[in-house]
Amino acid sequence: MKEPKRLKRMDNYRFHFRKLTSLFMFTLCGVSVLIALVPLILIFYRTVAFGFSAINWDFFTQMPKPVGESGGGLANAIVGTMILVGLGSCMSLPVGIMAGIYLAEYGNNWFGQSVRFLTDVLNGVPSIVTGVVAYTVVVLPMKHFSAYAGGVALGILMIPTITRTTEEILKTVPHSLREAALALGIPRWKTSLQIVLRTAMSGVVTGILLAVARAAGETAPLLFTALNNRFWNTSMNQPMASLTVFIYNYAVSPFDDWIAQAWAGTFVLMTLILLLSLTVRFATRNKFAGNLL
Amino acid sequence: MESVLITRNTFKASKGRLQNPGDFLFKNLTRFFAALILVLVVLMAYEMMRTSALSWNKFGFNFFIRSVWDPVQDEYGALPFIYGTLVSSLLSLIIAVPLSLGIAVFLTEVAPRWLERPVSFFVEMLAGIPSIVYGVWGFFVMVPWLRSTVEPFISKYLGFIPLFRGAPYGVGMLAAGIILSIMILPIIASISRDVLKAVPRSQTEASLALGSTRWQATRIALAYSRSGIFGAVVLGLGRAIGETMAVTMVIGNRPTISASLFEPGYTMASVLANEFTEATSEMYISALVEIALTLFIITIIINSFARLLIWSVTSNERAQKA
């Protein structure tokens, strides 16, 4: 009777070992969540700590001061970012929304499938590459940097986001709604526009906001398209300042004043992003959480 | 499902009838805009090929294996940049993959519902932070910390490995790898989570019924969804390769090839960011555009591959989420 007893003890041992391994591995998973939260918290902390002290009313209303003079603000950069994102939206909204409608309403064929695929692929193309394309298409022929070029770069960037979110959200509209409209004799195009699109409007707007937020935070494609401008400028044909490019230029500069303003700009940018993602989160109530990344 | 069939049949039937002219117009109008996206991708490739032809004609394939970068003599070779891109993104994968898998498993297997939402929200917040913010933070906070604390510590204990040799500059491959890993972590984690959620419940239940612990059941789920997870990792790699601003601010921007992770490097994306505005000669611009084209082609291949993998794993409905 000795043998079985030892076996039983072995079994017990292995059972506990397996239990412990399980516990250990799941603890590691929890730890990795904590590790991922560390940079997030640190980034928020630094941005608030450095940015909030540097921010004041002048930051939003004054122009950049020359080197050596303290004070001043980035009013032109803030307006510039708005103009550039507006230009990008003008270009990407029609394309993105219409293509999204096509994919959702008629896209169940090889053409729709390949557009969907390419849109996803385009989404993964680095933003700096779209900047290079805007440079070769707009800057080289015009022979100077301009807001148009920056708008084109941002527009290309925004198209995939808008297309895919529009499609996803239109697809969540129940089929019965479409059928009801069609049964009443409403033409299909009116159904798409006035029933389906209108039902999903808040979702579509959310997608647009997301694309706008992303575009407003982009730096790389603007570096050599819209360039930068230290002066007030609303002409599309001239180089244009943007908040992100200013942050970049100021952050790598040797002047404490400029570095402080870079942090202030970072703070403004982060506030914007945080507000937008909270809006998105509450507007969609976790319905489309996965596809809004 | 039934209703879908009905709708489809309605459209088929309507083909025979006289079509509403509005329908015809609207369908083709939307199709035109969808086609614009295809045209856009082709146009992007064409434009870059056209502009980079000069450099391609002069250097040919040697462009990718030469390590000279001399704007004064108009001699260009992209090897140091390709090397920097590869090393920094592989390093970031080494750091990010275990962490994001841990997060994905935590979200699907461990976390109670009330914890799952805030955690995935915070992880997605990481994805929403603009690249330039990571750059500023990395430049002012992480790099000094690496220089004063981490790198001296590592070189004291692991300095005999060539990877960790050299002066602790702070800026360099290690800094780039770390900042990239933070940036690609959310995408790998969230797609892996979706893929893990798509594993049939019966798989897990079967292994639990055979007496396995929950971790062993999770391992089976992980093995079941390995190609989807691989797709997520490849997608993360694509992101890391194209990331510009944050890397430019912390990698040190020196076109050298060295084995040490502490040494400064350069990536394809950051050379574009730094040198495009000052590119004056046609050959210079052409060489830079060729680097951009290379990036474009690499990311297109990587993304297509990853998308196909993810699409093949998750069901149609889920795949489009990612």
- pLDDT, one tens digit per residue, over B67-101 is 989 888 889 999 999 999 999 999 999 999 999 99
Q: Sign of the C-alpha dihedral, residues A44, A49, A50, A56?
A: positive
Cα(B249)–Cα(B140) distance, rounded to whole angstroms? 10
**Non-local CB neighbours of A83 within 8 Å, separated by 6+ positions:** A147, A234, A236, A240
In the predicted structure, residue B13 carries a pLDDT above the cut 80: no
In the predicted structure, residue B317 carries a pLDDT above the cut 60: no
| Domain presence at residue B309 | yes
Cα(A163)–Cα(A121) distance, rounded to whole angstroms? 13
For B68, the domain range is 60-319
CB contacts, 8 Å: A36 with chain B: 99-100, 103, 122-123, 126, 182, 185, 189
Cα(B65)–Cα(B78) distance, rounded to whole angstroms? 7
In the predicted structure, residue B9 carries a pLDDT above the cut 60: no
CB contacts, 8 Å: A132 with chain B: 48, 272, 276, 288-289, 292
In the predicted structure, residue B155 carries a pLDDT above the cut 60: yes
CB contacts, 8 Å: A247 with chain B: 132, 136
A261–chain B Cβ distance below 8 A for any pair:
no
Output DSSP code: residue B72: T
Q: What is the mean pLDDT of residues B234-247?
A: 94
Cα(A188)–Cα(B205) distance, rounded to whole angstroms? 46
In the predicted structure, residue B232 carries a pLDDT above the cut 60: yes
In the predicted structure, residue A234 carries a pLDDT above the cut 90: no
CB contacts, 8 Å: B272 with chain A: 128, 131-132, 220
| Domain presence at residue B200 | yes
Whether residue A33 and residue B10 make contact (CB cut-off 8 A), yes or no, is no
Nearest to A224 among B48, B243, B277 (CB): B277
The minimum CA-CA distance between B123 and chain A, rounded to whole Å, is 7
Q: What is the pLDDT of residues B92-135, one digit of tens each?
A: 999 999 999 999 999 998 888 889 888 988 888 888 899 999 99
Residue A62 near residue A73 (C-beta atoms within 8 A):
yes
- Phi, psi at B111, each rounded to 5°: -65, 135
3-state secondary structure of B75: strand
Q: Which two tokens stand for residue A224?
A: 């050599």
Nearest to B37 among A163, A189, A277 (CB): A163
Give 3-state DSSP helix, strand, coil % of chain B, rounded to 5: 80, 0, 20
What's the N-to-C CA distance of chain B in angstroms? 23
Which range has the worst mean pLDDT, A40-49, B8-17, B23-32, B241-250? B8-17
Best CA proximity match to B245, nearest among B118, B137, B126, B101: B137
Q: What is the pLDDT of residue B125?
A: 86
| Residue type at position A135 | Y
| Residue type at position B145 | W
Q: Which two tokens stand for residue B217?
A: 């059941």
Mean pLDDT of chain A: 88
What are the sequence ranges of the domains in chain A?
A: 75-242
- Provide the number of CB pairs (under 8 Å) joining chain A to chain B: 302
Residue A114 near residue B38 (C-beta atoms within 8 A):
yes
Q: How confident is the model at residue B146 (pLDDT cuts 50, 70, 90)?
A: very high
| Domain presence at residue B11 | no
| Domain presence at residue B255 | yes
CA angle at A293 for the pair A292 and B4, rounded to the nearest 5°: 40
Cα(A139)–Cα(B105) distance, rounded to whole angstroms? 47
| Residue type at position A101 | I
Whether residue B44 and residue A156 make contact (CB cut-off 8 A), yes or no, is yes
| Domain presence at residue B13 | no
Beta strands B69-70 and B75-76, pairing class: antiparallel
Nearest to A248 among B213, B245, B288 (CB): B245
Q: How confident is the model at residue A284 (pLDDT cuts 50, 70, 90)?
A: low
Q: What is the pLDDT of residue B3?
A: 46
| Domain presence at residue B214 | yes
Cα(A192)–Cα(B18) distance, rounded to whole angstroms? 19
**Non-local CB neighbours of B210 within 8 Å, separated by 6+ positions:** none
Cα(B60)–Cα(A82) distance, rounded to whole angstroms? 42
- Best probe of the A interface among B18, B23, B33, by most A CBs < 10 A, is B33
Where are the extended beta strands (E) located within chain B?
A: 69-70, 75-76
Residue B318's Cα: distance from chain center in Å? Answer: 20
Q: What is the pLDDT of residue A285?
A: 58
| Residue type at position A152 | V
The minimum CA-CA distance between A3 and chain B, rounded to whole Å, is 23
In the predicted structure, residue A1 carries a pLDDT above the cut 80: no
Cα(B288)–Cα(B266) distance, rounded to whole angstroms? 14
The minimum CA-CA distance between B161 and chain A, rounded to whole Å, is 26
Whether residue A290 and residue B218 make contact (CB cut-off 8 A), yes or no, is no
B70 strand-pairing partners: B75
ipTM attached to this prediction: 0.90
CATH number at residue B108: 1.10.3720.10
The minimum CA-CA distance between B164 and chain A, rounded to whole Å, is 23
Whether residue A124 and residue B20 make contact (CB cut-off 8 A), yes or no, is no
A152–chain B Cβ distance below 8 A for any pair:
no
Q: Which two tokens stand for residue A219?
A: 């730096």
- Best probe of the A interface among B10, B106, B314, by most A CBs < 10 A, is B106
CB contacts, 8 Å: B135 with chain A: 248, 251
Q: What is the pLDDT of residue B1?
A: 40
CB contacts, 8 Å: A54 with chain B: none
CA angle at B124 for the pair B120 and B125, rounded to the nearest 5°: 115
Best CA proximity match to A90, nearest among A164, A155, A161, A165: A155
Whether residue A251 and residue B40 make contact (CB cut-off 8 A), yes or no, is no
| Domain presence at residue B302 | yes
Closest alpha carbon within chain A to B298: A125
Q: Which two tokens stand for residue B6?
A: 């009905």
Q: What is the pLDDT of residue A241?
A: 92
Output DSSP code: residue B69: E
Q: CA separation (Å) from B62 to B66, B68, B75, B78?
A: 6, 11, 11, 9
Nearest to B245 among A112, A163, A220 (CB): A220
Residue A159 near residue A122 (C-beta atoms within 8 A):
yes
In the predicted structure, residue A288 carries a pLDDT above the cut 50: no
Q: What is the pLDDT of residue A163?
A: 96
Best CA proximity match to A216, nearest among A77, A8, A35: A77
Whether residue B130 and residue A274 make contact (CB cut-off 8 A), yes or no, is no
A98–chain B Cβ distance below 8 A for any pair:
yes
Q: Which two tokens stand for residue A128?
A: 């700096």
| Domain presence at residue B20 | no
Q: How confident is the model at residue A170 (pLDDT cuts 50, 70, 90)?
A: very high
Whether residue A42 and residue B320 make contact (CB cut-off 8 A), yes or no, is no
CB neighbours (10 Å) of residue A66? 7
Q: What is the pLDDT of residue A3?
A: 58
Domain A75-242 sits in CATH at 1.10.3720.10
3-state secondary structure of B76: strand
Q: What is the pLDDT of residue A286?
A: 47
Best CA proximity match to B270, nearest among B296, B250, B300: B250
